[in-house]
Amino acid sequence: MPNQNLFAALRAAFPADLDQVAVETADTPAPLHYTWRDLDRGSAMIANLLDSLDLPPASRIAVQVDKSVEALMLYLAVLRAGHVYLPLNTAYQAGEIEYFIGNAEPAVVVCSARNFGWVSKIAFKAGTRNVFTLADDRSGSLLDRAAQHADTHRPAERRASDLAAILYTSGTTGRSKGAMLSHGNLLSNARVLKQAWAWRSAAEGGDVLIHALPIFHVHGLFVATHGALLNGSRMIWFARFDPKAVIARLPDATVFMGVPTLYVRMLAEPALTREACRNMRLFVSGSAPLLPETFTAWKERTGHTLLERYGMSETVMLTSNPYRPESARRGGTVGLPLPGVGVRVHDDKGRPLPAGEVGGIEVKGPNVFQGYWRMPEKTADEFTTDLWFKTGDVGRIDADGYVTIVGRSKDLVISGGYNVYPAEVEGILNGMPGVAESAVVGVPHPDFGEAVVAVVVPRPGATLDGAALVAALKGRIANFKVPKQVFIVDELPRNAMGKVQKNLLRERHKGLFGG
Residues that bind ligand AMP (CB under 6 A): 169, 218, 286-289, 308, 310-313, 334, 391, 393, 405, 408, 414, 419
Question: How far is residue 143's CA from residue 289's CA, in Å, rounded to a whole number?
Answer: 39
Query: Which does residue 259 touch among ligand AMP, ligand MLC, none (CB within 5 to 8 A, set by kind)?
Result: ligand MLC
* Dist CA 316 CA 497 (whole Å): 37
CA distance 316 to 83: 19
Q: How far is the CB of 299 from ligand MLC (least distance, A)?
A: 22
| 163 half-sphere exposure, CB direction, 13 A CA radius | 20
Label the pairing between strands 60-64 and 33-35: unpaired
Pick what 232 binds: ligand MLC, ligand AMP, none; C-beta below 5 to 8 Å, kind-dependent: none
Instruction: Select the binding partner of residue 408 from ligand MLC, ligand AMP, none (C-beta < 5 to 8 A, by kind).
Output: ligand AMP
Q: How far is the CB of 191 from ligand AMP (least distance, A)?
A: 20
19: which residues sit within 8 A by CB, 6+ positions away?
A: 35, 36, 37
Cα-based torsion angle of the residue sequence 68, 70, 73, 75 in order, rounded to the nearest 10 degrees:
-60
Report the residue number, 142 or 288, with the smaller CB distance to ligand AMP.
288
Q: What angle do CA 283, 286, 289 make, to 5 degrees?
A: 120
Whole-number minimum distance, CB 345 to ligand AMP, in Å?
A: 14
Closest CB to ligand AMP among 27 and 314? 314
Partner whose binding site includes residue 448, from ligand AMP, ligand MLC, none (CB under 5 to 8 Å by kind): ligand MLC
The residue (of 202 and 512) whose beta carbon lies closer to ligand MLC is 512
Helix axes 36-52, 69-81, angle to 10 degrees: 50
Q: How far is the CB of 254 from ligand MLC (least distance, A)?
A: 20
Length of the chain: 515
| Cα angle 162, 167, 172; round to 5 | 125
Q: Which is nearer to ligand MLC, 220 or 359 (CB)?
A: 220
Long-range contacts formed by 498-501: CB under 8 A, 24+ apart: 500/439
Query: To the nearest whole angstrom, how small is the minimum distance from the Cβ of residue 315 to ligand AMP?
Result: 8
**Nearest approach, Cβ of 313 to ligand MLC (angstroms)?**
6
Q: Which does 393 bind (CB under 5 to 8 A by kind): ligand MLC, ligand AMP, none?
A: ligand AMP
Residue whose CB is less far from ligand MLC, 360 or 483:
483
What backbone torsions phi and psi does residue 61 show, to the nearest 5 degrees? -115, 105
Which of ligand AMP, ligand MLC, none is residue 405 near (CB under 5 to 8 Å by kind)?
ligand AMP
Residue 480 partner contact from ligand MLC, ligand AMP, none using kind-dependent CB cut-offs of 5 to 8 Å: ligand MLC
CA distances from residue 102 to 21, 74, 124, 193, 195 in whole angstroms, order as listed: 39, 22, 10, 35, 39
Of residues 232 and 416, the one with the C-beta less far from ligand MLC: 416
The one-letter code for the residue type at 397 is I
Residue 110: Cβ within 10 Å count: 25
Q: Name the residues that contact ligand MLC, by CB under 6 A.
A: 213-214, 217-220, 240-241, 259, 261, 286-287, 311-312, 415-418, 448, 479-480
416 binds, among ligand AMP, ligand MLC, none (CB under 5 to 8 A by kind): ligand MLC
CB of 402 to ligand AMP, least distance (A): 13
Q: How far apart are CA 476 and CA 487, in angstroms?
A: 19
Specify whether the CB–CB gap between 477 and 421 falls below 8 A: no
What is the closest distance, in whole angstroms, from the C-beta atom of residue 363 to ligand MLC in the complex? 13
Cβ proximity to ligand AMP: between 332 and 466 the closer is 332
CB of 167 to ligand AMP, least distance (A): 7
